[in-house]
Structure 1
């Protein structure tokens, strides 16, 4: 006979005949694969042996002192469900009937032969299996009851008519009632009149579907007369014999409803605004509500825009840290006016003017933002003004740097004519060469303002190598630490790299090493050298027209770099290199996949 899956069983056998008790032990150990049989020669001995590990008691009827039925009574006082089998040779129908009335598990008469022990072993195994199953069920039930008793949500069971059959203690915390106050009450009577019909219809529908689920919301009467919004989810377990009802879990959603009302108020205000209006959560930057203009301006549907993080919507907030700084600044100021770009999903970014403020509605804090697309004419004026400023710089350079070499050339030519001095003529030639170089650079600068970008896929590495070949610096070394491809105007990218590489070679020591690589913290690239570097106090001036550390230099190389980057939509800056030299960083670049 196979032993129980639940493990070894412990049986106490009480019989005042030692020889018969020993025989029974031998027989049962053969019939049961995994059994510990403990023998007691009296009822009192058996009582001292029974504990929580006992699985079954087998007892004779007639024993001196306390008989088998009296032992049964005493066992039932402490262990009401422990299997107890009366195994006697002096039984009768009257004895069997009395034993059953006292709660005996089974009754077997002793008979000669081995068959009776097979029967006894089978009855023991069946009784223990049922006992252990009931113990497990009880433990599970107690565990679930503990969880339900401690749950913050209300758990209740109703019949098909909506009558409460059980309510968890949480009903007192949420609705102010003791569970006993509502037991046997019809739950629908506590639902708000405006919600009652819909709730009754939902529950009637699920009551007709075994295992069916209902999920709904309604307002429920609190003991103080107020209405508490509940979100409920119920399951039909009417056919489950352990439940025979619809089990419902109800959650108080007062806070959520309050927040929804606040957002509805904001949305009402939003829809009356002519500008795009977007309300953000100050903690995570997620979009809470918005108007139709915001959808149109961002190129997003209502479903897509709701919940979108600010880092995906506004280019000025590349990460959550930037948003946190913005919110902190708003808390210390009334509002913030700034320009940004709205990131569209279906095209280029849209330049916008933004007015942001932080405020509280109903105790909840929000960042309220209005956005207006920058007027094209205004953007054009700003662009033209920047170009005029650049041209003013060029005029200044022309009036100073070009006049000087021409005057030098003119003076030397006059002296050469008078003295027939070849050195004077050489000096004049050098001055004229510098003038020509300056004119070439000025023409390059002017040309950058007169044509549009012609974007294409350009390899940074290949362009850098091509520029390097034009520079006469046999002792210098070029290192390329990028294989990225950018979307750029090829000739303008060439102009930037050539000027930066030439600048590094010109101002660096013999054997200077120049490195071209990709920025780690943003989209862009750098050109850095291991030369002397640029003092911090000079870095703000290096891009100005006419700035140069060489007395004979026109000072336009880095001006060209800045100008080309500007018309390209990029930013250029200077900082320290890793080896102490100068490092020029160009960001705002768009990288593209290879292929």
Structure 2
């Protein structure tokens, strides 16, 4: 079954998502059904107040995801989760409960719940539930697609070949199938008698040679090696060769090498992995980044109510605009890989000051060492700086954060006077889930910094400031000739 849905102005056909809503309150399951189907037209919602019926429906494979209350008479939501996971170990399961506590959240996470969300908060909470549910299903389907692709890739490698060759102990072609020309651009006659290494990219040649001669010394080992084709132009052709040592075989007396072009497969694999990673982070990103400008907006509103200073309204509007911008970016992340568009000329100092006002900087101080004009997407660049500021203050206990340019022509830095990050931990700071804060922190701030930097094609490294705090350096930045004062 399919439904027509609207996605970013383009009409597309999407497979229906079957959702099972479980709650002992009949009026509530009807309410959840109404909101979910209104928010996402691809949702086909089934409801039940009976946990036994829920288990039966899930075991039959009739649902793609489950949304369940926690406190129910027959069995609670975590017990239902465990029961369903016996037959559906990877089905997305969201605990949507009005009885929230750290103890329940901890138990839910330990049991493997996909997400945990408390009821309340009006219609916005149901919108959040719909988004998180959709993200969970898309992630699940994307993971299954990736696993299917990898399985298919493995079978193709083991059972098929586009180009078969027999290679001597001295790495000379003795035989090449006619398909060689379509794979690497050379005919059989051109290959026979030539060294196989002449057709390997110079930067890969040493590694391929080492693998080949290792297989000569260890005939019982099968060899598989990936490499770029020599002289394949600006976009290298990537080949995979699998070799079997049959030098002692009287019929073959050589290496049987199966070679095929895996350029497209590698590209698709990388795209699937990137897409899967983004879907994994997007639901946490909403809470992680949007909360900061909303908290700032609330504070500016309190100040305005106390002082009636119109300047506070400007700051309030700026914080709300920032929250909307972040939500727009989050929507984009669910649809496509991170690509930085709409580059503008922005001032390092002005963007840093604007980001400082929307970050929760408490009593800390921002110090602009110097500034330049650079090419960046202003909104995403501001998000990068906000995350670094928040990280320095919330986790590094910094009282001063400095921003400036690197010596030379291609970079800037953000450093602080806080506790810093131990050298042993630095390789992990850009990984999802890494945090030195409380368990409620998502650990996404620096992941997002890395993603935005990559989208701009900037290189980012983590070192130590003079005071022992964290220092993030961004290089390969495109600066404009004008100097900002």
Query: TM-score when scaled to structure 2?
Result: 0.38
Structure showing greater radius of gyration is 1
Which structure would you say has the larger RCO, counting Cα contacts within 8 Å and 6 or more residues apart?
A: 2
